[in-house]
Structure 1
Amino acid sequence: MSLVSPSTAVSLLTAGLGIGLTLLLHYRSYVKPPLSSSSNTTDGFLPSFFIPAVTSHGRYLPLTARNSFSYSVLYVGVDIDALESGRLNLPFRVFAYSGHPITKILGLRSNNYLGKGDGRDSLREKLEAFLERSECGIQTHEIRRVWMVTSPSFVGWEGPNPLTTWYCYGKTKDGTGRGPLKCVILEVHNTFGEAHAYVLKADSPLRHEPAAGYDLAFTFPRSFHVSPFNSRDGYYRADIIDPFPPDAPPSHIPQVKILLRLLTPEHTHKLTAVLTSGPSPPIPLEPGSISAILAALAKWPFTLFSVTARTFYQAYILHYKKKLALFPRPEPKIAAEGQEGVFNPPEKDDQRLGIVIGRQKEAWTERKARDVIGLWAQGRAEHVGVGLEVNFGNGRERMVIAPKGDDRHSNGNGHGSSNGHRNGHASLHQQKDIESETLRITTSDPNFFTNLLLSPSPQHSLILFPERLTSVSTTSLFLTLFASPPTPSKDFPARQSASIRSRFFLHLYSYSTLAPTPQIPSLNTYHFSDDPTILDWRTRLQITRLLFWTWFGEMADENLLNMLKGRFVPGQEPWLVWDRGMKRVWGIDPNVPNDGGSVRLDE
């Protein structure tokens, strides 16, 4: 008796032919002759590869925390113009550019490189915009070819990408071919969702003799918080191999090797990280290499998935086994100026090699707090005749609220124009009056508006501003603008908001051994937002909700760290922000911890 009925056999045969035909058409749709690396070279493109590699780390300081490890990693090295032309797309979606990562086995897209994007800008466009913004002195028309080494997405997983290296090559004298290496860009990402880039020019004064086996080397200041186990000060020494030297033949297979050494401010060797291609040779990104690419993925099936797990495992070893304390995450900043006395400052960067290209997303509480304060400031300007201008050092849009009598207007979100007068032509005397009546605040605090709502009084805010990278143009104007209203509201939202502020700051007070100065009012004072003539009941209830979730988040973070027995560097705990502020007031170095660590008054 037949095991398969005729109708079933016909169905299976039809399905098989259909699948086979679909795969054949899919294969043909991704074959764009010629696609070999040699043809790419003929067309001027640099050859592109799938690159098995090894990363190794070794820590030497402190001596009690010596540690080392090595892991296999998978990278791709691509000519960005060949990538974006579609020439590197492989059959069966083994490798493809753009689109959602779930639609391919391996892939790249421009979204997460050199700053966040929506995928519309090409890698070349983002690179040129970055070079112009960095003011590094390299003109975009000078760049002929760009070879990018990065970690691809894998079956939908677009994991963290700690290091992406851009090798930018200039033009030949006649402008038609690829010239020598113009610069190397090291794009660094951390686990906090932030990104930084260092531009290393071939003619940089920071370039020096490389180590044996390398082509070029640089020593440059650090300015980015990569690991919570390292401070931001000190230097990097980078020794790099040029993957496409000027005398390389057309059949040249590039070698990727970067030796990165972390040096203390005294140039003592602290840590070494090495990325090197191998032990397997790079695999050309071309149709004939599909089986080799799939074999490499089968050999290291979890490598692209395991970057985060490996990072946390090594963090566990350093924190719990090696007893290294944590440095809190600082706000990214490209230079040390303006951060004197602030914890974990970056090394001074006179060449401005370090460029901030990615910051943490703005919290929903901060967006709502901005809207509320923008609405409040417009009404307050009518009452006291003081305008408000908030300028951000972290790339966010500034807020401008015109003073009373000036027709510069802002919308409901507090965004307005900074130009103009009621007659369109302000006299010099009038302009000076306007400037004297406008409070200007400069800040890099990512939670500036939320912290304003959370501080019980303007005096409390002024104490904390130095710790939060914030300064005001005139202290008296700040106190005038943010003073308590003459007839404050005492309804439910006002009472609940006051209760949250009091609880939060009593908690901060409890970690300080220094008493507040007499100029600081009590925690029960009325808040500037308790003005019923400016903010209605619904808006003030929204403030209560914002304060609750901010307070809840702060307490949850602290309790979670205590539960996990985590330890910050003594004196740099986030909840010691008030203690550090009071130390500044009393003339004490805020970075010197209290005797015996964090002393609480209620212990």
Structure 2
Amino acid sequence: MVAPALYECEVAHARTAPIRHSLRHRTYMWLVDLDRLPRLPPALRPLARFRAEDHFGGTAPTVRAGLERFLATRGVRLDGGRVLMLTHARVLGHVFNPLTLYWCHDHRGEQVCVVAEVHNTYGERHCYLLRTDEQGRADTAKELYVSPFFPVDGAYRMRLPVPRDRLDLTVQLLIAGTKPFTATVRGSRRPATPRQLLTAAIRHPWSTAAVSAGIRRHGIALFLRRLPVQPRPRHRIQEGMK
């Protein structure tokens, strides 16, 4: 059993082509065991809700059921093994998760895969099934329109080690031998006590809305710099996501 934890994070985006632009913002994220979601005092529950409707197709009875339905379509069985989820919780009725990660283990405790669930600001989502190496690294083709300034081309190179005392994630976009975009998430672990949650919520009020607003604000800045907007293709709903 893994006790729930909070990570005080800095999220950084660095764009190197066709123009240089960067952003940084601070937030906090949860690491939880899908079978033992946090039970908070009633007064704090509006600050952290974990709802099945916010993940995968949004129609499964639990987050774990949604994950297992997705994995089943790809021939992956966990047989009751532990799943750790890194995510933003719903805060004051709002949630936006650019990236939720699931470290999936079998009944022997061996890691089977990592699932990276990506949401864009258009209400679309896509899950990547990753077979990471011992350092948590994996490459995968890009399949979701995320930024309006990049087409759905290329691949991602991800480094997603299981968070421990430190959280240290990297996602790079690879296009035609170049690395025009890199995102990092780095943070320190805190026990998910009511006091720590309240402290994090005060430091980062309405955190998920702030993340969404920050992404849109930087998108406007790039548009004003005359960065060309790429057409958004229709995204095909994945098997196992309904």
Match of 1:122 among 38, 56, 62: 62
Distance 2:124 2:21 in 1: 25
Per-residue deviation, residues 235-294 of structure 1 (Å, max 9, x unmatched): 100012123xxxxxxxxx543221000010x2211100001223xxx3323xxx222221
User: What's the CA shift for 1:357?
Assistant: 6.8
Q: Does 1:160 align with 2:96?
A: yes
State the partner residue of 1:301.
205
Residues 109 and 238 from structure 1, CA distance in 2 versus in 1: closer, same or farther, beyond 3 angstroms? same
State the partner residue of 1:94.
44
Distance 1:201 1:263 in 2: 18
Match of 2:114 among 184, 197, 200: 184
Distance 1:262 1:94 in 2: 38
User: What's the CA shift for 1:49?
Assistant: 1.1
User: What's the CA shift for 1:327?
Assistant: 1.4
Number of residue equivalences: 242
Distance 2:239 2:230 in 1: 19
State the partner residue of 1:47.
3
Which amino acid is the alignment partner of residue 193 of structure 1?
Answer: G
Indicate if the aligned counterparts of 2:138 and 2:159 stay in contact, CA closer than 8 A: yes
> Which protein has greater RCO, CA pairs closer than 8 Å, 6+ apart?
2
Q: Does 1:332 align with 2:239?
A: no
Alignment of 1:133-152 (within 5 A): 133=73, 135=74, 137-141=75-79, 144-152=81-89
* TM-score computed with the length of structure 2 as normaliser: 0.92
RMSD across aligned C-alpha pairs, in angstroms?
2.0
Per-residue deviation, residues 445-498 of structure 1 (Å, max 9, x unmatched): xxxxxxxxxxxxxxxxxxxxxxxxxxxxxxxxxxxxxxxxxxxxxxxxxxxxxx
Distance 1:297 1:224 in 2: 31
Per-residue deviation, residues 412-451 of structure 1 (Å, max 9, x unmatched): xxxxxxxxxxxxxxxxxxxxxxxxxxxxxxxxxxxxxxxx
Alignment of 1:370-449 (within 5 A): none
Which amino acid is the alignment partner of residue 145 of structure 1?
Answer: R
State the partner residue of 2:16.
60
- Structure whose residues are more often helix by fraction: 1
Match of 2:169 among 254, 258, 273: 258
Residues 269 and 148 from structure 1, CA distance in 2 versus in 1: closer, same or farther, beyond 3 angstroms? same
State the partner residue of 1:313.
217
State the partner residue of 1:224.
144
Residues 58 and 140 from structure 1, CA distance in 2 versus in 1: closer, same or farther, beyond 3 angstroms? same
Distance 1:229 1:356 in 2: 27
Alignment of 1:407-556 (within 5 A): none
Residues 304 and 192 from structure 1, CA distance in 2 versus in 1: closer, same or farther, beyond 3 angstroms? closer
Distance 2:89 2:196 in 1: 16
User: What's the CA shift for 1:112?
Assistant: 1.7
User: What's the CA shift for 1:356?
Assistant: 6.4
Residues 269 and 313 from structure 1, CA distance in 2 versus in 1: closer, same or farther, beyond 3 angstroms? same
Which amino acid is the alignment partner of residue 76 of structure 2?
Answer: I
Per-residue deviation, residues 33-56 of structure 1 (Å, max 9, x unmatched): xxxxxxxxxxxx222112221110
Identify unmatched segments of 5+ residues in structure 1.
1-44, 96-103, 173-178, 244-252, 335-354, 359-394, 396-603
State the partner residue of 1:113.
55
Residues 222 and 256 from structure 1, CA distance in 2 versus in 1: closer, same or farther, beyond 3 angstroms? same
User: What's the CA shift for 1:216?
Assistant: 2.1
Match of 1:275 among 165, 185, 193: 185
Larger radius of gyration: 1
User: What's the CA shift for 1:302?
Assistant: 4.3
Distance 1:291 1:144 in 2: 31
Distance 1:315 1:164 in 2: 21
Runs of 4+ residues deviating >4 angstroms = 355-358
- Structure whose residues are more often strand by fraction: 2
Residues 224 and 152 from structure 1, CA distance in 2 versus in 1: closer, same or farther, beyond 3 angstroms? same
* TM-score computed with the length of structure 1 as normaliser: 0.38
Identify unmatched segments of 5+ residues in structure 2.
none
Identity, in percent, stands at 28
